[in-house]
Structure 1
Amino acid sequence: MTAVQRSNRQPPQPRKGWIYKIDPKQLVLECSKGHFYKYDISGSSTVSCAEPNCSEKINPSRIERGLHPYIFWSVSNIDIFPIAYAIPLTSKDTFAPLPSTYPIRANQNTGLSCLSYALVNQFVTIDIECFKDTNNHWIKRLGGISKDLINVLEERLKRCLDIANNSVNDWFIEDSDPELISKLIISKFNQSQRTQIIEGLIDSLD
């Protein structure tokens, strides 16, 4: 096979653990009543459920907009269209000490340009078309993670889903950094609110 022929080969279908840089504008979201539909979240803070006679609102604000690396996880079919499950990666170390994240090194295998963190708790359902180009071909992957790392993320994913299902599991509390949690919570309030919270805590100690 010549070099020209090799260059014309199309990228293969995504596999579990492969890393892609995509812009997940098209997500498959579920409202609180269990309706699954595709939504275009570009520029939207909330979307209305597409199910007729359903008035539920869905908030996709936790999904980072723009091009970001994602770890492809699996594919499933909802009604008549396929969706991809993926784990987003971020270079921000804000949530690094939390047990629901995991560091992914930048090297030749992963294809990442800097140390990144897998946000397992932000496991998302994405329209499979986001992994294709305008010619309906699979896009080229950045790289991938090892089987051992896949197993680590799979275990953390199971624990996160366990929490989401309201089961009794205190792993998150036991494995988290209390100081970090406090900083994350306090950062959500303005200065006046912070002062009130701190004063309230001081009063409770008297």
Structure 2
Amino acid sequence: MRHEGTPGRAGGGAAAVAAPPGAAAASRGHRRRLPRRRRRGMVNVLLTVAIAAIVIGAMVGIFITSGAGLRTSNLQTTITALAAEIERAFANRREYAAGDYHDFLAPRMPSNAQRGAVGSEIIVTPWGGEIEAGGGATVGTAAASPNRFWIDVQDLPRAACITVAEALLEQTNIVSVSVDGTAVTTNALIEDNCDDANDNDVEIVYRG
């Protein structure tokens, strides 16, 4: 004779083998936590990566800024050297002759300011714009003058335009400084006229 299972007894009916309500959900919800030392190590790695990214970004910014500053400094050296060579070339003459001074003075410039084949060099800025020079008080013309000559520095970026023009204003042997044809007599005017494009011309008239 078969006996029916008694509810609640081991080996008995469905109630004896059924899992308690919510047991499966509790089992699924349980996750093994990482050891504290491992969690701390992961946090340290993330912090190190974040700090490294900040440092690299800062170094890139410094490199870009210092590179632009070096090019501007090289340009100022070239302008000073060109003005000195013009004065030296005409030291024993009664006037600054009409002509393109950059043509015959290019070979005397620093090597990093020259471009072109030997005998046909041109004077350039570190950004590739040309530097021209001539006699007279009007930039871009070739006129004889007893005491004036000019230098035209072409296609400068805004930052270099501002730095170069502001430094030129402080020199006592300079009659005038212009940016893209507009005379500038203050730093504020320089900042207003040096635009964001890389096509700023700084024009200088010297007192010989």
Question: Which structure has the larger Rg over C-alpha atoms?
Answer: 2
TM-score norm. by structure 1 comes to: 0.23
Greater relative contact order structure (CA < 8 Å, 6+ sep): 1
TM-score norm. by structure 2 comes to: 0.23
